[in-house]
Amino acid sequence: MPISPSDQLKIVCFLGKMYDDESFVSGIHKYEASQGETKTAEATLKRRRHDWFVDGAKPQGPNFLQLMDALEHNGWPKDLPSPDKLLEEKVSLPAFLERCQLRYSTVSTILSKESLEEWKTRHYGLHFMEKLNDRAREKRARVLLPAMVGAYRLYRRHSELPGILREHFIINARRDGYCEGKYFQYVRAKPSGNVIPFNVFYCDFYVIAFGANTSISGRTEILTVSVIVQNAFPQGNTQLDHDERYFVGMLSGIYDYGNVLLSERVLVERRKETIEELSKSAGSFIPQQIRHSDEFEYKKAADVIDNTLDGQTLAVRPHRREWVLGDEPD
């Protein structure tokens, strides 16, 4: 459902720092002064704003053109289309917020009841989504989520391949309450693998990622990966250790060739290279098999993801990544 014109105008005026009564009147007056025009009465401008923002009257004619010019005159964001161009876009509220480079939490207090209900229905229709988005407002989440943008390796066992499988994923965007990324999954019949979009949410001592893909057999494959991140905060507060590179977790999915659910340990390694640097090299994200001959990399992953330390097949604890620290060769 497209965003309402009045909410669209509110967001545009918010971007132009002309949303409340005072800033709206001040913005128009500054523009009029720059053009040598007589100032419009303050009461008239407040009534005009009320008609547009509250009553939903459609801005038109000279008054609308004056507002568009005032927004651009008073410091419109340089990396966005002009205000009038934005207002021409007939898109949903989430799409419009993304276009404006805004988060829902930033503008939720100025939106109409209808837009708030539409957002809640779209995003919080499943109760766990509401809980996940609430978590993103915590102090540690606000530190961690932006810092997660980057490139990663994922090590795991494969049900049919010998050795260890090295796959890749990137987290390339921070959204309102979560991050977005792409998982480059190994597929036996497809050397380049699958590219599976996913969303990742903060859940206190771990993060959880959800991705969906159509498998070779035509079924919908839902992947979840839960990764422990508490070692990224060694002091137990909100001070992030940007040098921490290794994390452990669990990957759950389905087996392509039968009605089998899978769950396995994984080792995640944050890469030192940026996404942009890796994207310049062909094959940077192609999954590969690691054999015993690749001694350090094989041992690094095998000692963490194999089952002998915990005594439980489907459990993973933070101590699994402790041995990795300091053991990497020069």
Per-residue pLDDT of the chain (330 residues; tens, 9 = 90+): 788 999 999 999 999 999 999 999 999 999 999 999 999 999 999 999 999 998 888 888 999 999 999 999 988 998 899 999 999 988 888 889 888 988 888 898 999 998 888 877 776 666 777 788 778 888 999 899 999 999 999 999 887 777 889 999 999 988 878 899 999 998 877 777 889 999 999 998 999 999 998 877 778 888 999 999 988 998 888 899 988 899 999 998 876 666 777 888 899 999 999 999 999 888 889 888 887 766 778 887 887 787 544 444 444 555 555 545 444 444
Do 167 and 101 have their domain in common? no
- Concatenating the DSSP letter of every residue in 245-280 gives -EEEEEEEEE-TTSS-EEEEEEEEEE-SS-HHHHHT
Do 99 and 173 have their domain in common? no
Q: Residue 100 falls within a domain, yes or no?
A: yes
Q: Residue 329 falls within a domain, yes or no?
A: no
Do 187 and 302 have their domain in common? yes
The domain boundary residue, chosen from 96, 125, 154? 125
CATH code of residue 206: 2.40.128.30
Do 155 and 288 have their domain in common? yes
Handedness of CA 161, 165, 171, 177 (dihedral sign): positive
Do 272 and 207 have their domain in common? yes
Domain count, the chain: 2
Do 63 and 201 have their domain in common? no
pTM of this structure: 0.69
| Burial status of residue 18 (CB atoms within 10 A of its CB: 0-12, 13-18, 19 or more) | buried
Do 148 and 294 have their domain in common? yes
Full residue range of the structural domain in which residue 64 is found: 5-125
Do 151 and 191 have their domain in common? yes
Q: What is the pLDDT of residue 311?
A: 42
Distances (CA, A) of 24 to 12, 51, 93, 120, 233: 12, 13, 23, 29, 43
Do 172 and 285 have their domain in common? yes
Phi, psi of 253 (to 5 degrees): -165, -155
Q: Residue 133 falls within a domain, yes or no?
A: no
Do 148 and 290 have their domain in common? yes
Separate counts of helices (H) and strands (E) for the chain: 12, 9
Integer-rounded Cα radius of gyration of the chain: 25
Which pair of structure tokens corresponds to residue 140? 């540690």
Q: What is the pLDDT of residue 167?
A: 93
